[in-house]
Structure 1
Amino acid sequence: MLQTFLIVWLGVAAAQASPGPNMFAVAGVALSTGRRDALMVVMGIATGSLLWSLFCALGMGALFTAVPALLTLLKFVGGFYLLYMGWKALRTAARGVDANIRATRPSASALAAWRRGLLVVMTNPKAVLMWLAITTFLYGAGLGGAQVLLFGPIVATSAILIYGFYAWLFSTRTATSGYARYWRWIEAVFGAAFGAFGLVLVGSGLRDLRP
């Protein structure tokens, strides 16, 4: 079992470290409102990982496989949520106000930051597909629902370490001073990135609806 967990974790860690909605959410919050809020986003992502492991252990993976329309629906939900986040960032950049600079912007509540991380990972089809792959591999290796559930804390811990590093990196003095100078451009980049991810998900959902 440990060897199987190690093999799967290597793939999970690579997926977590690669650019995506989770990483952009952590980086954006770290730059704009600081390390504490970014770490709460990380905890929200870790909580989502535990929930996905629970859902898959209870048969959610098999449900998505049996009813592909559910995954299509999630693509639309996640896509429009990312488009909304992108629109907010682009609107802030276009307005050209100083409200988004950390020195003058109030920190969000810990609950709001945690909720943002949870929403990003729970509406991210990349996470769903990753957990479907995890579930398939673990069951294919002869493990059961209890082992899938046990793998959840491993993924959550990995998320805390990897995204926690991003939270630290993007909240360093060098990063925040650069943000203070070029925040409009950085917000525009984040907005474009979220928008691109959102469009890809919505486009994938539309393709799923084709006969």
Structure 2
Amino acid sequence: MIAIYALTWLGVLAAQISPGPNLAAVASVGLAQGRRPALFVVSGISSGMLVWSILTALGLGALIEAFPFSLLVLKFVGGGYLLFLGIKAARATLKKGANATIAPDARPLTAGQAWRRGVLVLLTNPKAALMWAAVASFLFGQDLSAWHVLAFGPMGALSGLVIYGTYALLFSSGVAMRGYSRFSRWFEGVFAAAFGAMGASLIWSGVREARN
């Protein structure tokens, strides 16, 4: 189980490091308003991650319990989506040119408003829901119980808190803008490798199960 958690966490970690709406929300506030509002945005994003992880774990767990055959379907659907994310990240890694510049957001935010922005960025992003559903499918596909899948949620939320919290500190000081574009392609490469491996493993598990 530790090896399965480690591979899953690596994929989620790479996704969190890579460019996306979460990073843009944190960076835009950090650049214009400083550390404190950006950290509240981070706390909202982490809260949203916890919500999606719980919903997908419990929802898919109930589906599999009610319809055991659905696990085989989830292996192909979830594995296919993970492979899609991995291929997309690989293409971004190979693509030449710098990433789009993050624009500062100077609209003043209270602590509550910054937290809500983080929550809404995460919960209104359909890709986040699909990613967490695919991650849960992968964990279920490794014969883990619903409780084991549910236990992974706080790990993902905590790593998001650390990763985006670090970004909040760096962008609020202006350090990250000078170096992020240079290294973001490497982050995309790790993301591609981890999610590609998870997707391929899940699909292969489905193929073996379908043959039996």
TM-score bracket for the superposition, by shorter chain length: 0.5 to 0.7
CA contact (8 A) 1:22 1:45 kept: yes
1:12 alignment partner in structure 2:
12
Runs of 4+ residues deviating >3 angstroms: 60-63, 173-176
Provide the C-alpha distance between the structure 2 equivalents of 1:126 and 1:54, rounded to a whole number of angstroms: 16
Quote the offset at 1:60 in angstroms.
5.4
Q: Which secondary structure state, in structure 2, belongs to the residue aligned with residue 19 of structure 1?
A: coil
Distance in 2 between residues matched to 1:175 and 1:128, nearest whole Å: 28
Measure, in 1, the Cα distance between the counterparts of 2:173 and 2:33.
12
- Partners of 2:31 and 2:174 within 8 A in 1: no
- Deviation string for 1:76-113 (max 9, x for gaps)? xxxxxxxxxxxxxxxxx9xxxxxx65xxx6x4211100
Tell me if 1:35 matches 2:38.
no
For 2:138 and 2:174, locate their aligned partners in 1 and report how far apart those are by CA, in whole Å: 42
Question: For residues 54-69 of structure 1, what are the structure 2 equivalents within 5 Å?
Answer: 54-59=54-59
Cα shift at 1:30: 0.4
Structure 1: 5+ residue runs without aligned partners?
67-92, 94-99, 179-211
Structure 2 unaligned segments of length 5 or more: list them: 65-72, 75-102, 179-212
Instruction: Say whether the 8 Å CA contact 2:22–2:118 is kept in structure 1.
Output: yes
Once residues 135 and 175 of structure 2 are traced to their aligned partners in structure 1, the CA distance between those partners, rounded to angstroms, is 37
Identity fraction in percent: 53
Residue identity matched to 1:160? L
Instruction: Give 1:54's aligned amino acid.
Output: I
TM-score normalised to structure 1 length:
0.60
Q: Is the 8 A contact 2:17 2:163 kept in 1?
A: yes
Residue number in structure 2 paired with 1:185: none
Give 1:58's aligned amino acid: L
Q: How many residues align?
A: 141
Kindly state the Cα deviation for residue 126 of structure 1 after the two structures are TM-superposed: 2.0
